[in-house]
């Protein structure tokens, strides 16, 4: 995913909140299987309403997605967006220093 400054700033601003960053890290740890919202709440020990608020922010910028599995709501990290942020931040690494060899 190619990011521009506006998209990168939006994604990074959501990750700049400690609770949201913890949510994303838990979901990264869960891998491709994702994690049930209830399990995220238990691991982070935060109220449902607080978790829902933060998940909505992360979903709105596309950092995570949710799928319903019967009565369980499961969250997944959007790895393309995470990889996009890292690439955006590092793609011009040392471009101004021609002596640097990657």
For position 46, what pLDDT does the model report? 96
102 belongs to a structural domain: no
Distance (Å, whole) CA 87 – CA 100? 18
Question: For residue range 74-83, what is the model confidence (pLDDT) as tens digits?
Answer: 999 999 999 9
Distance (Å, whole) CA 86 – CA 80? 10
Distance (Å, whole) CA 11 – CA 4? 11
Question: For residue range 16-61, what is the model confidence (pLDDT) as tens digits?
Answer: 999 999 999 999 999 999 999 999 999 999 999 999 999 999 999 9
35 belongs to a structural domain: yes
29 belongs to a structural domain: yes
Q: Per-residue pLDDT for 65 more than 90?
A: yes
98 belongs to a structural domain: no
Q: What is the CATH number of the domain that holds 13?
A: 1.10.10.10
Distance (Å, whole) CA 72 – CA 20? 20
Predicted model pTM? 0.88
pLDDT band at 2 (very low <50, low <70, confident <90, very high): low
């Amino acid at each position: 995913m190619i990011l521009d400054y506006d998209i990168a700033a939006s994604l990074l601003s959501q990750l700049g909140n400690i609770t949201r960053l913890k949510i994303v890290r838990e979901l990264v740890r869960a891998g491709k299987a994702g994690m049930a919202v209830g399990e995220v709440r238990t691991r982070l020990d935060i109220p449902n309403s607080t978790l829902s608020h933060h998940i909505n922010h992360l979903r709105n910028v596309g950092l995570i997605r949710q799928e319903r599995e019967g009565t369980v709501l499961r969250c997944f990290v959007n790895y393309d967006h995470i990889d996009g942020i890292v690439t955006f931040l590092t793609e011009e690494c040392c471009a101004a220093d021609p002596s640097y060899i990657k």
